[in-house]
């Protein structure tokens, strides 16, 4: 069972963010499942992650998506970089977070630190 049902990330431009997040999240098997005039939702089964308009100053957040392999983490990061995002940590093991914690990070246009993590259970 998931701890969080869904999460909305405030962004300065929903349309621009959708164009970036759609191919990046696709590398993790996360599809666009909803769109309206104000928001876009992504998920594996329903709206689990949304992009919504920010109302004022954007508080920069750190958000980690679960990957099912180190290759997914690599593809996630490379896709983000190819789309012009700023790397905030190339793919690799992060022993400070656990012996099998493999992750990569990028900063989106609003400064959110977005991560993909694979916790290889050996």
Q: Which residues contact 32 (CB under 8 A, 6 or more apart)?
A: 18, 22, 40, 41, 42
Domain range annotation of the chain: 7-52+60-119
Query: Residue 122: what pLDDT?
Result: 54
What predicted TM-score, i.e. pTM, was given to this entire model? 0.93
Report CA Rg, the chain.
14
The pLDDT of residue 45 is: 82
Q: Domain 7-52+60-119's class?
A: alpha beta
Q: How confident is the model at residue 1 (pLDDT cuts 50, 70, 90)?
A: low
**Residue predicted with more confidence, 47 or 24:** 24
Q: Is the pLDDT of residue 88 over 70?
A: yes
User: In this predicted model, what pLDDT tens digit does every residue of 30-69 receive, in sequence order?
Assistant: 999 988 889 999 998 888 999 999 998 999 999 999 999 9
């Amino acid at each position: 069972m998931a701890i969080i049902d869904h999460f909305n990330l405030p962004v300065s431009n929903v349309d621009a963010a959708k164009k970036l997040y759609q191919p990046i999240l696709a590398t993790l098997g996360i599809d666009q499942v909803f769109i309206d005039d104000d928001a876009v939702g992504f998920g594996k089964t329903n709206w689990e992650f949304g992009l919504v308009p920010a109302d004022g100053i954007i508080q920069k957040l750190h958000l980690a998506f679960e990957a099912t392999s180190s290759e997914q983490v690599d593809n996630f990061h490379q896709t983000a970089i190819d789309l012009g995002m700023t790397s905030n940590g190339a793919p690799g093991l992060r022993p400070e977070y656990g012996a099998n914690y493999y992750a990569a990070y990028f900063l989106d246009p609003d400064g959110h630190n977005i991560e993909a993590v694979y916790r290889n259970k050996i």
